Structure 1
Amino acid sequence: MKKTFLIAVLFLCGSLVTAQKKTKNLVVVTLDGLRWQEVFRGADSVLVNNKEYNSDKKGITARFVRDSPIERRKILMPFLWSTVVQKGQIYGNRDLGNNAEVANPYKFSYPGYSELFTGFPDPGMNTNDKIPNPNTNVLEFVNKQKGFEGKVIAFTSWDVFPSILNDKRSGIIVNSGLAVLNVPGMSDRLKLLNELQHQAPGFVDEQIRLDVLTYQFGKQYMIEKKPRVLYLGFDETDDLAHQGNYRAYLQQTTKTDAMLADLWNYLQSDPFYKDQTTLVITCDHGRGQVPLETWKTHGEKIDGAEQVWFAVMGPDTPAKGEMKTQSTIYHKQLAQTFSELLGLNFKSWANHEVGSAINLK
């Protein structure tokens, strides 16, 4: 009897160990306003051929246009459609009936990011102004958990994120826009990045940092400080779309994909992160498609601006590739998904309702 009991206990303990999450670290990256159409179809030939939106039809056609959507998307985002699709999961291809949407009705940035990190499409958050978000977010929740204290940080190009993530209440470092990073024991490289961001030319707004500098801040901080949760918020795909510059929008999409590839290569080269880190890539809102000029914008009145996408890969995510199930998932589900990947439960702590996690299994 004792032997049987011991075997049962050992079996149970083994099952619990097996059920434990392998994900010890989380990296979330957003590409502001990048449409699902480009992600899943590649370059849009109608926009490539439109002189108003593309000043280099010959060059952009040669670089990005191919015979099929599958070929075009691989050219536009080679990392996403090689490494991520082979090792993880990609959601939001509406051509296959696999839909991803924001649940908030406003379909622009602050409400989109708020929904993403709070799990709550608050109808009261209808602004891009720097109003402190009253809703608790998953990053501040994780930062309060044992072993994560002071190990959560955000680097973003857009300077509104300290309000979206309410850094004063949450206590996490949110380094955004051209804010100077000031943490103990900074290397000369981080100090140089502080200088460069003020010397680099303004892209759209003097307070918006270049995405490449946001990325370099985040990567260098990982190398030196080993945060367990990192958020990188890129901005330029949205800015270029608002300008109606489809040529540069495509080029920046490819550059961002290359930064993601570099980031993943680093994560797999560092023993602290290798095989213990989940990477999530997504956006904050979609854009219009019809009429043609609505690709430049988004918002409550723009059909299609609610349509988004996301990708995930890591040690707890089965390699299912491009998802083809006929279903709809919502951005409000991602906050709880993030916490469950880390073996935590944001829902039990938040001061508001939270969407249920997405079943990645």
Structure 2
Amino acid sequence: MLNKSIACAFFTLLLFQALSLKAQDYKTENIILITLDGIRWQEVFTGADSLLVDDTGMIKVPGSLLTDFWNEDPLVRREMLMPFFWNTLAKEGQLYGNRAYGNKVDNSNKMWFSYPGYNEVLSGFADDQHINSNDKINNPNVTLLEYLNRLPEFQNKVMAFGSWDVFPFIVNEERSGVPVNAGFDIAEGDDLSPEEILTNKLQSEIRGPWGGVRLDAFTQSYAMAALKNKKPKVLYISYGETDDWAHENHYDQYIWSAKQTDAYIREIWDFVQTDPQYKDKTTMIITTDHGRGISKTSWRSHGESVPEAGEIWMAAIGPDTPATGEMKSQGQWQSAMIARTIFQLLGMDYPEAKAAPAIQEMVK
């Protein structure tokens, strides 16, 4: 296992091959960070799981997944499941986490569930001491979103959208000043777009099956409206359906949601390529908060009792990311590296020296 400082540099070196660049040489001016809750690396790299695409009761209608998602060749299957990942990201960006090649990405936290995973992605380190539940407790750690929102060039240009209603606490909206639309929040203000007005109406009428997680379609609609009309320089989006369908043992809904989320990400990237603020100046990074089990029973679960639940994946595309596709080099990466990489892409040092005392003060 690489130590923390070496691992972070190694990740940046391989992902962007830009350690020698000066700050002014980076082309990235905007960041879009996306997370898909609890989707396994197995589906990302091999498509629908042969163990689960059958008539065991995990699909609503036996055989209904086969036409859309099944092929004997895993390389074909993964493209059927996530066409944007394998037709665009794999050609123009990079994907990490195919453990068949020894290309390993893991959580550095040992909790292996959502809040600790999101804290790690957003703050740049694991904090198992303070972040050890999914309770709605304001995050004592300063996230990359908060750090950037404090800087004059990013102030009021950082936004977050999530399907899970715990995100205002993960981002610590109250302290950070970063606006978070999550759970069943609606768009607010006097200048709402027609899309936001319609989404507010539909969300109030279509609640979905979960109390604390809205359907991802609403998260996508709000995020796209913000991207088009408010033009944030840093945008964070978290989709949640895959994890909730998995917990309910609905493999059909899990992979349908994965495919739909792939389409949402394509919609975002297609817009980025047409907008003058974003085109050729935006890096998109995609990952997940945790993995899950691999058996017919454990696939629905995660947490420290599930050995595979810390196994995750990452992907990136943008003007500073070499188009090397699926990474097959052996190595170890962690989601804690993402925050530092984002700062480096923006031509800044990650403020680690300031983080520790700030955190200590906040948790006293």
User: TM-score w.r.t. structure 2 length?
Assistant: 0.89
Aligned to 1:10: none
User: TM-score w.r.t. structure 1 length?
Assistant: 0.90
Aligned-partner Cα distance in 2 for 1:245–1:78: 22
Aligned to 2:125: 120
Which sections of structure 1, spanning at least 5 residues, go unmatched?
1-14, 354-361
Code of the aligned partner of 2:187: L
Q: CA deviation at 1:19?
A: 5.3
- Give a deviation string over 1:4-38, Cα, whole Å, max 9, x none: xxxxxxxxxxx977952101101011110000000
Q: What is the aligned counterpart of 1:243 among 244, 248, 260?
A: 248
Q: Is the 8 A contact 1:30 1:284 kept in 2?
A: yes
User: Secondary structure of 1:298's match?
Assistant: coil
Give the CA RMSD over aligned residues.
1.6
Query: Does 2:193 correspond to 1:187?
Result: yes
Q: Is the 8 A contact 1:115 1:121 kept in 2?
A: yes
Aligned to 2:112: 107
Aligned-partner Cα distance in 2 for 1:132–1:146: 24
User: Secondary structure of 1:51's match?
Assistant: coil
Aligned-partner Cα distance in 2 for 1:192–1:55: 31
Query: Does 2:48 correspond to 1:57?
Result: no
Q: Aligned residues: percent identity?
A: 43
Q: CA deviation at 1:350?
A: 4.4
User: Secondary structure of 1:329's match?
Assistant: strand
Aligned to 1:351: 355
Structure 1 residues 167-186: aligned runs within 5 Å:
167-183=173-189, 185-186=191-192
Q: Is the 8 A contact 2:32 2:236 kept in 1?
A: yes
Aligned-partner Cα distance in 2 for 1:22–1:217: 27
Query: Does 2:85 correspond to 1:86?
Result: no
Q: What is the aligned counterpart of 2:305 among 297, 301, 305?
A: 301
Aligned-partner Cα distance in 2 for 1:65–1:322: 21
Q: CA deviation at 1:234?
A: 0.4
Q: What is the aligned counterpart of 2:233 among 215, 228, 233?
A: 228
Q: Is the 8 A contact 2:55 2:63 kept in 1?
A: no
Aligned-partner Cα distance in 1 for 2:292–2:177: 33
Q: Is the 8 A contact 1:102 1:308 kept in 2?
A: yes
Change (3 A) 1:185 1:350: farther
Which sections of structure 2, spanning at least 5 residues, go unmatched?
1-19, 358-364
Aligned to 2:325: 321
Code of the aligned partner of 2:56: K
Structure of higher CA gyration radius: 1
Aligned-partner Cα distance in 1 for 2:80–2:21: 43
Quick check: 308-317 or 141-150, which moved more?
141-150
Q: Is the 8 A contact 2:22 2:347 kept in 1?
A: no
Aligned to 1:357: none
Q: CA deviation at 1:192?
A: 2.5
Quick check: 212-221 or 177-186, which moved more?
177-186
Aligned-partner Cα distance in 2 for 1:16–1:81: 29
Q: CA deviation at 1:200?
A: 1.1
Change (3 A) 1:17 1:134: closer
The alignment of Structure 1 onto Structure 2 pairs a total of residues equal to 337
Q: CA deviation at 1:312?
A: 0.2
Aligned-partner Cα distance in 1 for 2:354–2:189: 28
Aligned to 1:272: 277
